[in-house]
Amino acid sequence: MPVLVVGNLVVGGAGKTPTVIAAVQALRAASHRPGVISRGYGRRLHGTEPRAVGAHDRASEAGDEPLLIARRTGVPVWVGRDRPACAAALCKQHPEVDVLVCDDGLQHQALARQAEWVVFDERGVGNGLLLPAGPLRQPLPDRPSAITRVLYNAPAPSTPLPGWVLERQANHAWPLAAWWAGENAQHVPLQSLRDRPLLAVAGLAAPQKFFAMLRAAGLQIQPLALPDHHPYAELPWAPDTPDVITTEKDAVKLDPMSLPGLRSGTRVWVVPLDLDLPPILVTDLLSLLFPAPDAPGLPSP
């Protein structure tokens, strides 16, 4: 079973989840049947056995990022501490799956892989030091390996490594109830929210990127940064707040049916973040995962 691992060398959010979603969508567009495995960081672990993620699971049980991936892609998503065991369980339950995408796990060498996507954002490698003195989980290599591609979720490369610059897109906003119901027709252009004051809420490792994107779209926001993987045991805004705008990673923990405060007069808007993968990068990925006999891979940019 060919495996693509999407990960990063630095701690914190560099954009792995949107990259995983984009990779799954590209594989499906190429007529493949992907599945996704993840540890499910932040979930309440009920034993160590792998488990499937349902689109209507709670984030506290499945993990907010795996739940978001399941809702956005509709492909099988499984979580578990042991990634090879998780992969085996998914494949046994879903024999139709012909390729796996591992959400994180770059340092989890027990899982064999045919391709690696290493994601950086504007921070690059920070001070270049390993944890705990710096942000690096492992040293920055002099050059990528033969199966490694470097992706920059940033306007320009932020390390010396050659790689692909991905274009981030945030063009629409959904009412929270419509987003939960999957009613895509109810979205509105992001620019249509310019005429109202918005409380921008983000429980991300790097929330300032979300706030900067909203400001770049011309929105008037008051930012409210929350800890990464914030659980939303209670709503962090006042009941009389007219409009709140947030991310999909936050929205998976804002179930209108289980949080009574969401049925107040506050309008909550959800902004999906999409990444545009260059076609040549997708072609390169397919050549790594499904190589033709004696066919060389494409060169890195």
- Is there a domain that residue 209 lies in? yes
Query: Could you tell me the CATH number of the domain that includes residue 51?
Result: 3.40.50.300
Cis peptide, bond prior to residue 132, ω within 30 of zero: yes
How many Cα atoms occupy the beta-carbon half-sphere of 164 within 13 Å?
24
| Residues 156 and 226 grouped into a single domain | no
Condensed to tens digits (0 to 9), the pLDDT of residues 79-106 reads: 998 999 999 999 999 999 999 999 998 9
| Residues 118 and 255 grouped into a single domain | no
| Residues 140 and 285 grouped into a single domain | yes
Average of pLDDT values for 235-239?
92
| Residues 97 and 158 grouped into a single domain | yes
Is residue 216's pLDDT more than 70?
A: yes
Condensed to tens digits (0 to 9), the pLDDT of residues 7-56 reads: 999 987 788 999 999 999 999 999 999 999 998 876 765 556 899 999 88
| Residues 20 and 78 grouped into a single domain | yes
Pick from 226, 267, 274, 266: nearest CA to 250: 226
Pick from 131, 100, 164, 102: nearest CA to 9: 131
**pLDDT value of position 292:** 83
pLDDT band at 60 (very low <50, low <70, confident <90, very high): confident
C-alpha angle 168-172-174 in degrees, rounded to nearest 5 = 130
| Residues 232 and 124 grouped into a single domain | no
Measured CA to CA, the distance from residue 49 to residue 85 in angstroms comes to 8
Residue 245 lies in domain: 171-272
Is residue 165's pLDDT more than 80?
A: yes
For the chain, the domain total comes to 2
